[in-house]
Chain A
Amino acid sequence: DTEVTQTPKHLVMGMTNKKSLKCEQHMGHRAMYWYKQKAKKPPELMFVYSYEKLSINESVPSRFSPECPNSSLLNLHLHALQPEDSALYLCASSQKVLGEEKLFFGSGTQLSVL
């Protein structure tokens, strides 16, 4: 099982709204990631949680707030977003096995900010 589940699949929000993206995995992976991807561009790393602690923040604006309540769940809280934040938000998780660490992605949340 290599499933990372993201909800919702699509989200439309206004610039004054507060919303959250959810990511869940039950593979026992202890590293989880948020990536942002604009159309026809590669994914760009936003945050990494390792053992439920924030280990990497790629200078992401504070209107994006990550949260890792437990080892299976990763949230991304959104507040006062801008239209340029419209993108595909991808969650991923990874586990190291025999020295190899492979990243598995969810199917993403397509976010539109109006």
Chain B
Amino acid sequence: AQKITQTQPGMFVQEKEAVTLDCTYDTSDPSYGLFWYKQPSSGEMIFLIYQGSYDQQNATEGRYSLNFQKARKSANLVISASQLGDSAMYFCAMREGMEYGNKLVFGAGTILRVKS
């Protein structure tokens, strides 16, 4: 069964506007972590933001925020004030359990293109 689902293969956004990238997940483990990574065409995977399953507040990191809706099992990434440099592939990922060195499973990714 698919653990992480990203339903948007590609998205366009106008420069300076906000954009939401969708991510839903499936787990029965009460302890899990949710991640978003950015991968530009250069190939490096850049950590953006993390949300723990027990965190009461939505995570924020600069222009990135994670809209965590636990009951709906969704963890959407919101990028505010889009910049041309935000054009990249974005992956949502999940780790189940609290053991150190657990497997991180990725969604299929969403390609974001920022238009000037």
Contacts and interface: CB of A to CB of B under 8 A. Distances in A.
A101 B103 CA distance: 11
B91 A42 contact: yes
A90 B109 CA distance: 16
A102 B88 CA distance: 21
Interface string A49-87: 110000110100000000000000000000000000000
Interface in B27-56: 33, 35, 37, 42-47, 50, 52
Contacts of A58: 103
A42 B114 CA distance: 21
Interface in B94-109: 95, 98, 100-109
Given A42-B109, A99-B52, A55 B101 contact: yes
Interface residues of A, number: 32
A103 B44 contact: no
B43 A107 contact: yes
A99 B98 CA distance: 8
- Range of interface residues on chain B? 20 to 34
Interface of B: 33, 35, 37, 42-47, 50, 52, 89, 91, 95, 98, 100-109
Given A49-B101, A102-B47, 18 more contacts: A31-B101, A42-B108, A42-B109, A43-B91, A96-B100, A99-B98, A100-B50, A100-B52, A102-B35, A102-B50, A103-B35, A103-B47, A105-B37, A105-B45, A105-B47, A106-B44, A107-B42, A108-B43
Contacts of A105: 37, 44-47
A50 B50 contact: no
A108 B109 contact: no
Contacts of A90: 45
A101 to B, nearest CB: 7
A45 interface: yes
Contacts of B108: 41-42
Nearest to B31: A99
B106 A42 contact: yes
